């Protein structure tokens, strides 16, 4: 990484997760390559995250009425001054070399819209390092192998040009964004762990009722417009991937009749 590496903004959206904020902010402040700014976006929380943020002079605090995670990320994107942006969910954390690793990857891939690394997946049974290298856009079309948005670093200008996150989606808005960005720009990866994903019982991906929003991503025009033969094949192959990616919506938790209906709805089969 060069001494004149670009400034990086870390955006931390929070909704009723004030109890986790000290951990996430501390991780943002403990970078080997310091962030140029850290912004906490309060999405209409009832647990007073401002009281936590007051402990940190270096952190900006922005409050908005509750509009959802995608809208909170977009608010942070609009407020950011950095050339690169990292989005860290309030209940997760960054590893100390996260920004340095992301910037090094951008140095090697200056035209990329985003880069990503590995992350530690932590639950009651322990910690697992997760990383899948994607060699082409077809890999991303099959599934959101990045899995955790905190493992990614974005080029802010390209992200703004893409319109940011789709605020109509209540889930998988990160995958939707990755797909849109990858239409116009390359992306890159490195294998260094950069973030920690702490599984919470009330996490979005554990709410089966939110599955409809994930389905909406797959049904979007992305599936039908502008895909070449290899990309169309990747969509078809993806029908077997999503059950493993979201096991709580897989065969062990949903009736077979429901699964058949979802498959027809999403994949036309």
Residues above pLDDT 90, as percent of the chain: 62
Predicted confidence (pLDDT) per residue in 134-178, tens digit: 988 989 988 888 989 999 999 999 999 999 999 987 778 898 899
Q: How far apart are CA 269 and CA 101, in angstroms?
A: 41
Does the CA dihedral 222-226-229-231 come out positive or negative? negative
The first and second tokens of residue 96, run together, are 């100390």
- Give how far Cα 13 sits from Cα of 142, 145, 233, Å: 28, 22, 36
pLDDT at site 168: 85
Segments making up each domain of the chain, as ranges: 8-201
> In sequence order, which residues have a C-beta less than 8 Å from that of residue 118 and are 6 or more positions away?
129, 130, 131, 151, 191, 192, 193, 194
Residues 6 or more apart from 250 whose CB is under 8 A from it? Answer: 243, 244, 259
Q: What is the pLDDT of residue 210?
A: 52
Asked if residues 211 and 249 have their Cβ atoms less than 8 Å apart, the reply is: yes
Least Cα distance to 76 among 85, 67, 68 occurs for 85
Question: What is the length of the chain?
Answer: 269
For 50-56, what is the mean pLDDT?
97
CA separation for the pair 152, 159 (Å, rounded): 12
Rounded Cα–Cα distance for residues 30 and 94 (Å) = 9
Contact 76/35 with Cβ under 8 angstroms?
no
pLDDT for the residue numbered 36: 97
Q: Residue 251: pLDDT above 50?
A: no
The stretch 76-97 carries a mean pLDDT of 98
Per-residue pLDDT band for 1 (boundaries 50, 70, 90) equals very low
How many CA atoms lie less than 13 Å away from 240 in the CB half-sphere? 4
Closest CA relative to residue 103, chosen from 158, 30, 39, 34: 34
What is the average pLDDT across 112-132?
93
Pick the CATH number of 8-201 from 3.20.20.70, 3.30.1540.20, 3.90.550.10, 3.90.320.10: 3.90.550.10
What pLDDT, in 10s, does the model give residues 215-235? 566 655 555 566 778 887 787
CA angle at 92 for the pair 174 and 160, rounded to the nearest 5°? 35
> What is the value of pTM for the model shown?
0.85
Instruction: Supply the DSSP symbol for 34.
Output: -
Average per-residue pLDDT for the chain: 85
SS3 101: helix
């Amino acid at each position: 990484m060069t001494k004149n590496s670009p400034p990086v903004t870390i955006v931390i959206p929070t909704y009723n997760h004030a109890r986790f904020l000290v951990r996430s902010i501390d991780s943002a402040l403990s970078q080997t390559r310091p962030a140029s700014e850290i912004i906490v976006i309060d999405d209409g929380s009832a647990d007073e995250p401002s009281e936590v943020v007051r402990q940190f002079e270096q952190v900006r605090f922005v409050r908005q009425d509750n509009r959802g995670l995608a809208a909170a990320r977009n608010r942070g994107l609009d407020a950011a001054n950095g050339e690169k942006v990292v989005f860290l969910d309030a209940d997760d954390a960054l590893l100390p070399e996260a920004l340095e690793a992301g910037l090094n990857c951008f140095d090697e891939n200056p035209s990329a819209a985003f880069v990503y690394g590995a992350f530690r997946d932590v639950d009651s049974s322990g910690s697992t390092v997760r990383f899948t290298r994607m060699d082409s856009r077809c890999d991303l079309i099959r599934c959101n192998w990045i899995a955790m948005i905190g493992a990614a670093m974005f080029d802010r200008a390209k992200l703004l040009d893409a319109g940011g996150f789709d605020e109509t989606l209540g889930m998988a808005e990160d995958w939707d964004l990755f797909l849109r960005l990858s239409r116009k720009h390359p992306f890159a990866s490195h294998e260094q762990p950069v973030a920690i994903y702490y599984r919470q019982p009330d996490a979005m991906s554990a709410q089966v009722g939110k599955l409809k929003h994930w389905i909406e991503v797959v049904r979007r025009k992305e599936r039908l417009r502008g895909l070449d033969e290899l990309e169309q094949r990747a969509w078809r192959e993806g029908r077997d991937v999503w059950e493993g990616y979201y096991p709580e919506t897989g065969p062990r938790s949903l009736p077979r009749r429901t699964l058949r209906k979802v498959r027809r709805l999403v994949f036309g089969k």
